[in-house]
Structure 1
């Protein structure tokens, strides 16, 4: 074991530049740092607490519930770094908020996809656990995201997500100068036939790490492209952010209900206000 020599600072995390007390228990995880400017205006209040590399963080409240957001950059390697360091400073619930490509014809640009579980076609989670370990979203997070989408009146779908390490070859798109990776021409069709809902690049690693560490995680993404119909429209970023923010508020209610009942898991028999 390398001991503590890999951590140059015992208090402030090396990449995200955060310390204990900087973030709430629940953190939204968009990829693009600029998405914070679309997320935080939805809240009651917020303060930007750190910005280092691709990791930009703000903390505030939404309907009185403490909430934070940290951008992760593109892909599972950088998302896993954010997850690790946020967990070290006290975060316990993680919700990926992003965009995706839909695989089913009934999913329109602007719709939401709520991840129930993920196909681990990224390599980061393989560094943590054997390849047949499932990337499963927390049932509490999934329930809260569904309830939030219903309350807000947003069109949504719930299903399986495939997370890739590559935007081009790994998602069945041609690379530079028309390059096609082996099997890329069959990838989308195979995933569609297996009833996979969407493709993105971070959910599998985030859900895997959450399960390993006994934390909560899930994902909600806006459909930008439909790989079956060929439609493309960059809409719904604020829809996903609003849904995730309300979900954090509902999760706080779930936690209070659990504490009152003296149970560890929220279930459908416990009503939410």
Structure 2
């Protein structure tokens, strides 16, 4: 069995619980460093996917690309064609508040968005994409056991990376939005529509207030706290 974007041979090649980093090299890093007996099931468009076990439980990790259209494709196919039930995005975000530091971890309880992705579902009005409480609870419990501090709240899923107005983020910050990323809203909408569970866990890779930035290598290989939380939540 395969889809246009995933070439797994059959449903069993992908576990019911999956981590979704945007970067396929981060998927490879997770598979090589956290999963036992990991096997690559997908290489289409270089968007690597692996299945192995974590503490004896089958878990998959799949690159999802950048932006809501790409996340929308992979999450929809994983749920509808491969029976994935728990989808946890592990990605990077830009912090909007001084209390949320670079390399801190944020659980996205809900997402605001400037995207029109909701039009695909025929909803007349505003829709508030939210995480699955079951995964939120499991992630918070995992973070507590691991001794990792997490923030939790509303995040922004943006369609535009290079905003032309330099202070655009301040209005979102004023509303209490913790950070900005580019995929969670599509993931949450697909999961809600298709009856799956979803959560976005992000590590702060840059800061809009302080101007701090991390390197590409740091983003790929050193943001392990969110990976550990996600893996524990996936098998809980």
- Normalising by the residue count of structure 2, what TM-score does the alignment of the two structures yield? 0.91
Partner in structure 1 of residue 7 of structure 2: 17
RMSD between aligned residues: 1.5
Partner in structure 1 of residue 233 of structure 2: 247
Q: Does 1 or 2 have the higher relative contact order (CA < 8 Å, sep 6+)?
A: 2
The answer as to 2:78 corresponding to 1:100 is no
Deviations 1:98-149 (A, max 9, x none): 1000111111111101100001222333323435121010001111111121
Greater shift after overlay, 126-135 or 241-250?
Answer: 126-135
Give the SS at the match of 1:243: helix
Deviations 1:15-40 (A, max 9, x none): 11223111000111110110023211
5 Å matches for 1:19-168?
19-40=10-31, 41-87=33-79, 88-130=81-123, 131-168=125-162
Partner in structure 2 of residue 238 of structure 1: 224
Give the SS at the match of 2:99: coil
Partner in structure 2 of residue 229 of structure 1: 210
Greater shift after overlay, 90-99 or 43-52?
Answer: 43-52
What's the offset of the Cα at 1:53? 0.8
Query: How far apart are the structure 1 equivalents of 2:224 and 2:212?
Result: 19
Over 3 Å counting, the alpha-carbon distance change for 1:60 and 1:133 in structure 2 is same
Of residues 209, 216, 219, the one that matches 2:197 is 216
**Unaligned runs of at least 5 residues, structure 1:** 1-10, 170-179, 251-273
Q: Is the 8 A contact 1:26 1:94 kept in 2?
A: yes
5 Å matches for 1:168-207?
168-169=162-163, 180=164, 184-207=165-188
Give the number of the structure whose alpha-carbon radius of gyration is greater: 1
**Unaligned runs of at least 5 residues, structure 2:** none
Q: Is the 8 A contact 1:119 1:160 kept in 2?
A: yes
Give the SS at the match of 1:36: helix
Displaced runs of 4 or more, over 6 A: none
